[in-house]
Amino acid sequence: MVNKKLLSCADKICDLGVEWKTTWCSNCGNYGIQNALNRAIVLEDLGLEDVILCYDVGCNGNGSDKVDMFTVHGLHGRVLPLAAGVKTANPRVKVIASAGDGATMSEGVNHLVHAVRNDYPIMFILHNNENYGLTTGQASATTRKGIERNASPYGTVVDELNVCQFVLSLKPSFVARTYSGRVEHMTDIFRKAMNHNGFAFVEVMQACPTYNKETPDEWYEQRFTDVIDMKDYDCNDIWQARKIVEDMDIDVAMGVLYENPEKTDFLSASEIEGMSFWNRDMTKEVGAKRVDVSSLL
Amino acid sequence: MVNKKLLSCADKICDLGVEWKTTWCSNCGNYGIQNALNRAIVLEDLGLEDVILCYDVGCNGNGSDKVDMFTVHGLHGRVLPLAAGVKTANPRVKVIASAGDGATMSEGVNHLVHAVRNDYPIMFILHNNENYGLTTGQASATTRKGIERNASPYGTVVDELNVCQFVLSLKPSFVARTYSGRVEHMTDIFRKAMNHNGFAFVEVMQACPTYNKETPDEWYEQRFTDVIDMKDYDCNDIWQARKIVEDMDIDVAMGVLYENPEKTDFLSASEIEGMSFWNRDMTKEVGAKRVDVSSLL
Amino acid sequence: MNRYQINIVGESGSGLLSTGEILVDALMEAGYFVFADREFPSLIKGGYSCFSLVFSDEMVSSYNESCDLMLGLDKQGMQEFNERIVEGGYLVHGYERLSGIADMTKDLLKRDVKVYDIESRKLAKSVGGNVLMTNVVLIGSLWKLLGLDYGLVESAVKRKFASKPKLLEIDLLALRAGYDDVKSVDKLKKIFENFNESNLDEYTLMDGNKSVALGAVLADCKTYYAYPMSPSSSILTYLADWSPQTNMMVKQAEDEITAVQLNIGSSYAGTRAMTATSGGGFDLMTESLSLAAMIEVPLVLVDVQRPGPATGLPTWTAQADLDLLTNAGHGEYSRVVMSVSSADDGAAVIQDAFNLAEKWQIPVLVMSEKFIADSKKLVLKSDFEQIEIDRNLTSSSEDLVSQMRYGLSENGVSPRWIPASNSVPYYANGDEHFIDGRLTEDAKKSELMIDKRARKVEYLVKELPEPELFGEEDADVYVVGFGSTKLVMDDVVKVLDKSGVRVGYLHYKYLYPLKLDKLTEVYQSGKSVLLVEGNRAGQFGKSIESEFKRDVFASRLLKYDGRPFYLDEVVEFIESNLNTHGK
Amino acid sequence: MNRYQINIVGESGSGLLSTGEILVDALMEAGYFVFADREFPSLIKGGYSCFSLVFSDEMVSSYNESCDLMLGLDKQGMQEFNERIVEGGYLVHGYERLSGIADMTKDLLKRDVKVYDIESRKLAKSVGGNVLMTNVVLIGSLWKLLGLDYGLVESAVKRKFASKPKLLEIDLLALRAGYDDVKSVDKLKKIFENFNESNLDEYTLMDGNKSVALGAVLADCKTYYAYPMSPSSSILTYLADWSPQTNMMVKQAEDEITAVQLNIGSSYAGTRAMTATSGGGFDLMTESLSLAAMIEVPLVLVDVQRPGPATGLPTWTAQADLDLLTNAGHGEYSRVVMSVSSADDGAAVIQDAFNLAEKWQIPVLVMSEKFIADSKKLVLKSDFEQIEIDRNLTSSSEDLVSQMRYGLSENGVSPRWIPASNSVPYYANGDEHFIDGRLTEDAKKSELMIDKRARKVEYLVKELPEPELFGEEDADVYVVGFGSTKLVMDDVVKVLDKSGVRVGYLHYKYLYPLKLDKLTEVYQSGKSVLLVEGNRAGQFGKSIESEFKRDVFASRLLKYDGRPFYLDEVVEFIESNLNTHGK
Ligand SMILES: Cc1ncc(C[n+]2csc(CCOP(=O)(O)OP(=O)(O)O)c2C)c(N)n1
Ligand SMILES: Cc1ncc(C[n+]2csc(CCOP(=O)(O)OP(=O)(O)O)c2C)c(N)n1
Ligand code: SF4
Ligand code: SF4
Ligand SMILES: [Mg+2]
Ligand SMILES: [Mg+2]
């Protein structure tokens, strides 16, 4: 099908670009996140045929072709339903979606609401750098009130959203938080998220040295409070979770903040007459047997 | 400008339709809501020049031309930014927006998130009949799990959203609930909402006898629990509000559930060098004086 | 072509639909071909509806605004619609109080309309029934007037109310009471004397949305994602209802963008997915359309048209989204726009759309119309067979390298393999990319890729068939159209044939890209070529003339008032435009 | 036309932009006309950028891919771009290590390129500066080579770093060190001997987005709602920065649909509102576009184009959204599509758009392009004057009745009054409605209203001016184009005039609806008519030919690789297509 001649002519016209270079600013938190994700994938022993990575548009999404995996890089704000569609078609594969705070809390916040509600069994990494990096540093819905950004030259005037509080209001099954300064912590959380059978929401507080001077890695390092170290913290108790996530300034809670083992994920919930979608591979079913519609006429 | 000849010819072709008839099913909760809204407007002594009513698309929106007021009937799911735009241009006018649960929690849920966050000073009535009435009764995000609806013939499979819990996660300034069975209660809540200087969110549990057999007015009547009658209820305490709205089955809390007097509404927050938009009428400013841009060149 | 039209009128929600369905069922049992459609407002209850039903001894697929007989279920309905009864026609109604309809009755008498007022309430009560049963009484009376076998309507009523045995008993009594109440019916009976009965075993009654839904099943589409929107919603309902039989994942999404993104995700992952909507919902999907084109993922979208702009007329019909579908979604790339014409070909068109979408890895946009979606006609069961599936997937991973996925090829198509099905990864990248999907900003590479994607349609068009000519090959006059225009034209051809006018109808199934050879032939015949199209601008005619770079159509019948083309208006249009070409 | 092009190359984020800005400033101070543009990847840092700068002793508004002189800020940049230096040109760079560039240097020598390697690091250090100051050293060296007055560049550097007085001191030393380091420059100096200086007081340097933003201010637009999207985002930045002076409500919305809905809300309420985006964001606004048309609310949207589909090439340029803007948004109604051509007319076009939108109560879609948005040219300050505002509002409530708001009129326009400004209410209804806005589903009424809205454009087109002919009225060859094509054509006309070829450039500001009289005239002259358009399909050419119903263009120059039209390629295209018409 591929015209070999044209392929090789293209080859001559321009190098095939098999080599790549990362394109994030130096000290960008995305390096750490990518690193941790790669580690988690390796540690979970997942290979090329086990994972599909789905990317939104934003600085983080620019990593979509800098990894040796099957990836899809969709539209700004739309990665969640895209990823849910992938998972539904092929439940065997781990589907990991990533997006920025602009994508997640503004352009596509409707998708976040319904991804949580539907409990699509995918893992989601929110790269929260508290600004729109790729479009040169405008405020996002998580930019703290009063901070100056591109297009908010006199400081933002409305309250920022508390992402975890928001997600906790939607009957989630898994809510975690980490930050881009600790690769080990991220790796650990990512692995837990990968093993969660439902919508695994992970907020990563991400350093953006270029545009976000207010909350660099050091800021979060100072406030890092791992719930795993808190004696009485019960991550199955939504009220504890709601209380603890309220604080985004003094002690910022990290770790698996909430888990609900009772929730039924989307593919299980959608079973048809006892047949779960988990046991299907719809990529192979098309045309596999002749369809007879006479009973439907 | 109007061609009198064509106008009068149209007159002959077809009656001008100055008479109208309401078009809701009998016993539809929209009658009560409309009634209460009209009463509230009259009791607040608001006239034609004081109010603009903004409607979403849905059964409730079909009331947009059944009232003697200036109204705008926009697109499905989009009434909130439309109404915010109206208010911004003309802060003098009370802007009242209405929408269904389909519009508010699905198609346009992103707008709800950001309307709350921005605290646009408008009043919003969510007609929650727990289904898509106008498109013949499909499930909405507030249809309780397991209930059969058009296009969910074997019962919905995912959790419904708790609307008030959701709104409370967004740092709101006013959250109230009422239901379509008590016109007086609705009238009272609407009046309070009208007098709130910020985003006044009112959820009305609305009877839809045609498609929602599960939670008719009687169902809510039995569960009606007015927070005003609860001795220790402090509607400035978000945690009490969060606790109480969790129950949608046994004692359904009604009334003004939460109010935050500290929040700054959008028009105040956006003031430019001390000049508040509240004092502006941008409908009159256009062309009012010659603009000189020499300092910007 | 013997045909007879009955309009049933009443307030929406007054039981109009089931009354119509019983009659349709009974008439089919009697061996008549039927066609039925319903006009109704965008309200759940209230407002006036009109159910039009035509029966014939040949295949029939159109109706008129006016009817031979009107069944009035209530006063309001009659008052709204009585002018639609033809001179010399009939009105059967059960509004026994008769108050306030004197003017109407006088008017009807003037037009020689015979009125039968049935005491439907009284009769219903007399057998122990309630107000809701007056419709059944009226059905009985009507049946008697038609002079058809009582057993036929009786069994139709039985089928309808089979699930409510208690009510059924009284219903049958009410039916009988209505039937017996009518005495002399000779004149009406005579009309049907030369109607032949047929054996309809090979047929079934179907609406267009059901046909489209069946198409998805036959195409072995595994996932259906949609957001409710009239007039597309019943596709979702059909597919959801059938899921236990089909095992299809049928998901009502939270909005249109979600629906199309779920679709693209599943299609990318390697299964078949479909989504239907209407114009405004389609607008919301257009950015995603552009994504599918960029990452070369097959995408099948159905647009069941209604009149715009904005919310427009949600429960009425149109053919006005053609320019939109051809041009929407930023960027330049290949696509196909097709149209269903009726329940006859809905299933075939959808299957074709899937094969084209997968073969060429492009968006295929399928138009339907409210009129097609909701009207019911008899279709041949044998038209609902599975068409061979062409996925054009590369399964073996031998010799595969990542750089093949978007490799340059003559016709723009590159090998596609299911992600994570082997160890040769590629990037499905919405940013401009080169042959393995990796981002490029290079001028030459970008141009090559834009060319590659745009080139597909230039090759694809060669493989499409020419539009089909129905009716007379060697005609006196030719009509060009698409979509539901075929429904009315099938009848027009027959009707005009009787008056000695040979009509050729050139039906376009593929609206973009355009095939012009057959049309050129027709044009060169020197006969009038007419356009019949359901929008104001004559969008399709314009796109033909723009390709032809000359005027083609001697005259245009453009309709955009929400109503379908009526048989009589098209006949009249053609008659008044015979031989206008080159003369 | 004397012109000289300098390309500054380096990694993105390497200080390229400020280096370019200092040079532009200094050259303007020297009395030269300048034009500058920047190619950069869609990354915040990394990747290679090229800042192209042309100076001339006449107005200049285009550049070439190749340059006369290249300033290399780092090794990577030079390696990426050195082939762009013309034969006999110059390379000035500060990569003193010289390692790994032997091949390049050899190559350059072959092409007779003279290389100046400046020890920029060493020089910077010698004056107490750091690596970041190597650019300033290079500016000094370059300035010496150009043989221009040192004081000019010195004051430009002072202006640039005025806010950082401490660094400025060292910067000035670095500048001097670079300047002094270059000794013999005779050859280069000669080039500029016949460059005349001009007094540029009446001019200011401006990019297209700033011009558009100024247009909003001049139109007395009170509200600006937008969502960031390259290359439109800087309009938002400009307007937000200016809000203390303009008192404009500048709101970054949470997404594009919100932006356009806020806009429609404010416009309906009676003020002026504007929104800008790029193709994909525009897709999302199309349903709302349809609403504005339905409720007859003025709507001004700006689409700053970049190449699609999908995310495409976010930081590159295109003219490919024309078909999209003309057809997007379901339903049939009137609209106007216009295009900005450069910073010269951005402000005027926007003001015009507002007047048209309000006069006709329709959507007016204004196209711009990344190339226009970001490139900087000299504009006349006097072009930034307020144009008379035409709101076409009915203010007196006397004799007003609700039925007038959407009353039928010859040209489709009805009286509009501000809601809640009087006691004559009306319904702005997205459902089909009749003259007071109340819902209708009546066939006749619906048709009347669809006609009313669609008719506006048929009347409006009569009031639009014909496209303007630039260059020679009685030319040897004509070129037709829109948007930034004007930028390059302004220079092409001058360049070809020198070689004795008289070129007429017919510039379309209004792309829909089309005016064809002037073009007909041009076409009938019998001379070649050529098309220069920045997309693959030749969209604009097609729409012209479709209206003309004949072939119009002897040849087409279509470009869609993300780059603007370069001067030399357009000159070459025209030269090779002289007299191809009718021969
Ligand atoms: C429909 C659409 N609107 C806007 C854009 C422009 N855009 C690209 S990325 C982005 C936001 C980036 O912010 P975020 O999601 O937080 O990602 P970050 O770059 O900060 O990682 C925007 C607005 C787009 N590509 N598509
Ligand atoms: C973009 C778009 N999608 C879908 C529709 C169809 N539609 C009209 S109303 C509606 C939902 C109605 O539900 P809700 O908002 O709860 O209002 P209700 O009718 O129940 O009052 C839908 C899906 C539409 N008009 N526009
Ligand atoms: S702008 Fe911020 S998020 Fe983007 S690459 Fe640079 S540091 Fe990272
Ligand atoms: S369907 Fe329900 S919400 Fe709609 S009018 Fe009828 S009762 Fe009211
Ligand atoms: Mg971000
Ligand atoms: Mg509802």
Q: How does pLDDT run across C11-37, given as a tens digit for each residue?
A: 877 789 999 999 999 999 999 999 999
Q: Which atom of ligand 3 is nearest to the CA of A62?
A: 5
Residues of chain D numbered 29-68 and touching chain A (CB < 8 Å)? 41-47
Exposure string over D470-506, b if 16+ CB within 10 A, otherwise e: bbbeebbbbbbbbbbbbbbbbbbbbbbeeeebbbbbb
Q: Which residue has its alpha carbon closest to ligand 1 atom 1? A: D281
Residues of C in contact with B135 (CB under 8 A): 228-230, 233
What is the rounded CA–CA span in Å between residue A172 and residue B162? Answer: 12
Residue B230 tokens read as: 């609860």
Residues of C in contact with B107 (CB under 8 A): 227, 254-256
User: Scanning every residue of chain B, which has its alpha carbon at the shortest distance from the alpha carbon of D296?
Assistant: B72
Q: How far is D430 from chain C (nearest CA, A)?
A: 5
Q: State the helix-helix crossing angle for D539-548 and C539-548, rounded to 10 degrees.
A: 90
Residues of A in contact with C272 (CB under 8 A): 286
What is the rounded CA–CA span in Å between residue C254 and residue C257? Answer: 8
Look at residues A161, A198, A188, A173 and name the one whose alpha carbon lies nearest to residue A254. Answer: A188
Residue A55 tokens read as: 């990317």
Q: Which helix (H) or strand (E) holds B183?
A: helix B183-194
Check D307 against C331: CB less than 8 A apart: yes
Q: Which chains touch A (3 or more CB pairs under 8 A)?
A: B, C, D
The DSSP call for residue D405 is: T
Q: What's the distance, CA C257 to chain centroid?
A: 24
What's residue A163's pLDDT? 98
Q: How far is the CA of B256 from the centre of ligand 6 (A)?
A: 22
Residue C447 at interface with chain D, using a CB cutoff of 8 Å:
yes
The residue with greater pLDDT, C190 or D79, is D79
- Taking residues D558-576, report their average pLDDT: 97
Residues of D in contact with C312 (CB under 8 A): 294, 330-331, 430-432
Q: How far is B141 from chain A (nearest CA, A)?
A: 9
Helix, strand, coil percentages (3-state) for chain C, rounded to 5, are: 40, 20, 40
Residue C206 at interface with chain A, using a CB cutoff of 8 Å:
yes
Size of interface B-D (CB pairs under 8 A): 234
Q: Which residue has its alpha carbon closest to ligand 4 atom 5? A: B24
What's residue A22's pLDDT? 67
What is the biggest distance separating any 2 CA atoms in chain D, rounded to whole angstroms?
86
User: Scanning every residue of chain B, which has its alpha carbon at the shortest distance from the alpha carbon of D388?
Assistant: B287
What percent of chain C stands above pLDDT 90? 89
Check D254 against B114: CB less than 8 A apart: yes
What is the rounded CA–CA span in Å between residue D459 and residue D447? Answer: 18
Residues of C in contact with B141 (CB under 8 A): 254
CB D208 less than 6 A from any atom of ligand 1? no
Q: How far is B129 from chain C (nearest CA, A)?
A: 14
Q: Which residue has its alpha carbon closest to ligand 4 atom 6? A: B25
What's residue C580's pLDDT? 55
What are the residue ranges of helices labelled H in D378-528?
443-463, 485-498, 517-524
Residue B62 at interface with chain C, using a CB cutoff of 8 Å:
yes
Residue D79 at interface with chain B, using a CB cutoff of 8 Å:
no
Q: Report the alpha-carbon angle C534-C539-C543, nearest 5.
A: 140
Look at residues C452, C246, C445, C284 and name the one whose alpha carbon lies nearest to residue C361. Answer: C452
pLDDT above 50 for C215: yes
Q: Which atom of ligand 3 is nearest to the CA of A127?
A: 3
**Residue B202, strand partner residues:** B125, B176
pLDDT in tens, D188-246: 778 888 899 999 999 999 999 999 999 999 999 999 999 999 999 999 999 999 999 99
Decide: C462 and C440 in contact? Cβ < 8 Å.
no
Q: Which helix (H) or strand (E) holds C354?
A: helix C346-360
Q: How far is B173 from chain A (nearest CA, A)?
A: 11
Sheet hosting strand B94-100, strand order edge to edge: B224-226, B252-259, B174-179, B200-205, B123-128, B94-100, B51-55, B70-73, D427-429
**Residue D117, strand partner residues:** D93
Look at residues D70, D100, D102, D95 and name the one whose alpha carbon lies nearest to residue D84. Answer: D70
Exposure string over C324-347, b if 16+ CB within 10 A, otherwise e: bbbbbbbbbbbbbbbbbbbbbbbb
What's residue D96's pLDDT? 85
User: In which band, very low, low, confident or very high, does the pLDDT at C581 lie, cut at 50, 70 and 90?
Assistant: very low
Look at residues A117, A139, D309, B145 and name the one whose alpha carbon lies nearest to residue C258. Answer: A117
What is the rounded CA–CA span in Å between residue D262 and residue D251? Answer: 9
pLDDT digit of tens for each residue in chain B (297 aa)?
Answer: 444 444 444 444 333 333 456 679 999 999 999 999 999 999 999 999 999 999 999 999 999 999 999 999 999 999 999 999 999 999 999 999 999 999 999 999 999 999 999 999 999 999 999 999 999 999 999 999 999 999 999 999 999 999 999 999 999 999 999 999 999 999 999 999 999 999 999 999 999 999 999 999 999 999 999 999 999 999 999 999 999 999 999 999 999 999 999 999 999 999 998 889 999 999 999 999 999 999 999
Q: The pTM is what?
A: 0.97
Q: What's the distance, CA B16 to chain centroid?
A: 30
Q: How far is CA C460 from each of CA C334, C351, C357, C410, rounded to the nearest angstrom?
A: 9, 17, 11, 12
pLDDT above 80 for C242: yes
What's residue B21's pLDDT? 65
Half-sphere exposure of B39 (CA within 13 A, CB side): 16
User: In which band, very low, low, confident or very high, does the pLDDT at C299 lie, cut at 50, 70 and 90?
Assistant: very high
What is the rounded CA–CA span in Å between residue A241 and residue A170? Answer: 13
What's residue C160's pLDDT? 95
What's residue D189's pLDDT? 77
Q: Are strands C363-369 and C528-533 parallel, antiparallel or unpaired?
A: unpaired
Using DSSP, state whether D181 is helix, strand or coil: helix
Residue D241 at interface with chain A, using a CB cutoff of 8 Å:
yes
Q: What is the mean pLDDT of each run of 10 residues along chain A (297 residues)?
A: 43 41 87 97 97 97 95 98 98 98 98 98 98 97 98 97 98 98 98 98 98 97 97 97 97 98 97 92 95 95
What is the rounded CA–CA span in Å between residue B296 and residue D213? Answer: 10
Decide: C295 and C452 in contact? Cβ < 8 Å.
no
What is the rounded CA–CA span in Å between residue B70 and residue D486? Answer: 46
Q: How far is CA D89 from each of CA D58, D84, D181, rounded to the nearest angstrom?
A: 22, 10, 20
pLDDT above 50 for D345: yes
| Cβ neighbours for D257, distance < 8 A, ≥ 6 positions apart | B78, B81, D284, D285, D287, D288
pLDDT in tens, D532-556: 999 999 999 999 999 999 999 999 9
